[in-house]
A and B are shown apart, each in its own frame.
Chain A
Amino acid sequence: DAKTTQPPSMDCAEGRAANLPCNHSTISGNEYVYWYRQIHSQGPQYIIHGLKNNETNEMASLIITEDRKSSTLILPHATLRDTAVYYCIVRVRNYGGSQGNLIFGKGTKLSVKP
Chain B
Amino acid sequence: DAGITQSPRHKVTETGTPVTLRCHQTENHRYMYWYRQDPGHGLRLIHYSYGVKDTDKGEVSDGYSVSRSKTEDFLLTLESATSSQTSVYFCATRPSFEVTGMQGEQFFGPGTRLTVL
Contacts and interface: CB of A to CB of B under 8 A. Distances in A.
Interface of A: 32, 34, 36, 41-46, 49, 87, 91, 93, 95-98, 100-107
Contact of B43 (A44, A46, A49): A44
B56 A41 contact: no
28 contacts: A32-B103, A34-B105, A36-B106, A42-B108, A43-B108, A43-B109, A43-B110, A44-B108, A45-B108, A87-B42, A91-B104, A93-B103, A95-B97, A95-B104, A97-B50, A97-B56, A98-B56, A100-B48, A100-B50, A100-B104, A101-B45, A101-B48, A101-B58, A102-B43, A103-B45, A104-B35, A104-B42, A104-B44
Nearest to A105: B42
Contacts, number: 55
Contacts of B45: 101-103
A93 B103 CA distance: 7
Interface in B22-61: 31, 33, 35, 40, 42-45, 48, 50, 56, 58
B103 A100 contact: no
A43 B45 CA distance: 14
Contacts of A105: 42
A43 B111 contact: yes
A91 B104 CA distance: 10
Given A42-B111, A43-B110, A104 B43 contact: yes
Given A103-B45, A106-B40, 16 more contacts: A34-B105, A36-B106, A43-B92, A43-B110, A44-B92, A44-B108, A46-B105, A46-B107, A100-B31, A100-B104, A101-B48, A101-B58, A102-B43, A102-B106, A104-B42, A104-B43
Looking at B48, B104, B110, the one whose CB has the most chain A CB atoms below 10 A away is B104
A49 B110 CA distance: 22
A47 B90 CA distance: 18
B68 interface: no
Nearest to B33: A101
A96 B104 CA distance: 10
A95 B33 CA distance: 14
